[in-house]
Chains A and B, each alone.
Chain A
Amino acid sequence: MFIVDDLLINPFVSIMEAIHSMAISEMYDTTEIKNAIKENRLLYELGERSQAEYERLDDELQTQLEIAREAHEQTRGKVEVMR
């Protein structure tokens, strides 16, 4: 519905832009990545993950976060998708 709402409010927004922004928001959800970074840290502190495991996953998640931030940066100002 929010795509329709966007289009009703702003007729200059193309449906492709709205769909693209929605896809970016879902694929690159920074909150989930940040939570995964914090969970990884917590499980390492509790001794459930080794330092090597923690560091490998942290590197991976930090890279994902950077990509997600860049993706959001690119779509900023085009279409705001309310979730």
Chain B
Amino acid sequence: MYSQTYHFAVIVYRVDVVVVHTPHERCIGPHPHPPTRSQAMSSNLYTYGVIEQDTIEIDERGINGAEEIRTVEYRSLSAVVSEIDEMEPERTDENATAHDEVLRAILESDGGRTVVPMRFGMVFKNPNTLKNVLRNGRVAFRRSLNDLDGMVELGVKLVTKDDTDVDRPAVVEDVATRLREAADTEAGNDLYSDRLVFNRSYLVDRDEQGAFDETVSEIRDAYGEQLHVQYTGPWAPYNFVDIEISSEGR
């Protein structure tokens, strides 16, 4: 008799990191002394994620085509950044892809690295404001790095083919049960389209990814006729860590 009980919980850290800033740091409305172009270009830092303290060499273009991806260090933490003109980068396909690609390159660098990803659009005015955030949030960042050590995120979506109809609850239960056996933790995502039957993310140990791949192949064999099976990753663990940095802190 099959009677294993699963205890699955999504690890989500919600940390509001608020940095007290002096009034002159924040510019509301036209700046009385507009910076020159060269100053503006080197002041803001777009931040992709946080890793164990290290320097990195990544051959990827960053947000807005930034050529150099580098790190800003605070004690045992390094934030991966590139320079940017504006404080609110446009969320174009190119920029969203660049954000993902840089994080994936970090994940794959140095034989497999752990990264705490930032959500899209985290820009800091200068290295000091970023260091303040690393200092104020260091407990959350450290805890996340420890918990996510060696883990990657993998995504599985099932989407109906044109006119097919399936027993959705039965498919969801079967697929979820199979994938849980091969994963450490799962997180459910929005079913933002009527065509989406299943949309979940899984936190998987790098060493166990082969077994997870195999499970997805079996699911494709079982349901591939009626459903598209979209398998993506490895991603930085976006769905398993959520460190919020309020705009006052940036």
Interface positions of A (Cβ within 8 A of B): 34-35, 38-39, 42-43, 45-46, 48, 58
Contact = CB atoms under 8 A, between A and B. Distances in A.
A38 B192 contact: yes
Contact of A38 (B162, B193, B228, B230): B193
Interface residues of B, number: 11
A76 to B, nearest CB: 17
A38 B195 CA distance: 12
19 contacts: A34-B192, A35-B190, A35-B192, A35-B193, A38-B192, A38-B193, A39-B192, A39-B195, A42-B157, A42-B159, A42-B193, A42-B195, A42-B196, A45-B230, A46-B159, A46-B228, A46-B230, A48-B162, A58-B93
The B interface is mostly helix, strand or loop, or mixed, namely mixed
B159 to A, nearest CB: 6
Interface in B194-250: 195-196, 228, 230
Given A35-B192, A46-B230, 5 more contacts: A35-B190, A38-B192, A39-B193, A42-B195, A42-B196
The A interface is mostly helix, strand or loop, or mixed, namely helix
Nearest to A45: B230
B88 to A, nearest CB: 13
A35 to B, nearest CB: 4
The 10 nearest A-B residue pairs measured at CB: A39-B193, A35-B192, A38-B192, A46-B228, A46-B159, A39-B192, A42-B193, A46-B230, A42-B159, A35-B193
A39 B160 CA distance: 12
A75 B96 CA distance: 30
Contacts of A39: 192-193, 195
Contacts of A43: 195
Contacts of B190: 35
A4 to B, nearest CB: 33
Contacts of A48: 162
A35 B196 CA distance: 11
Nearest to B195: A39
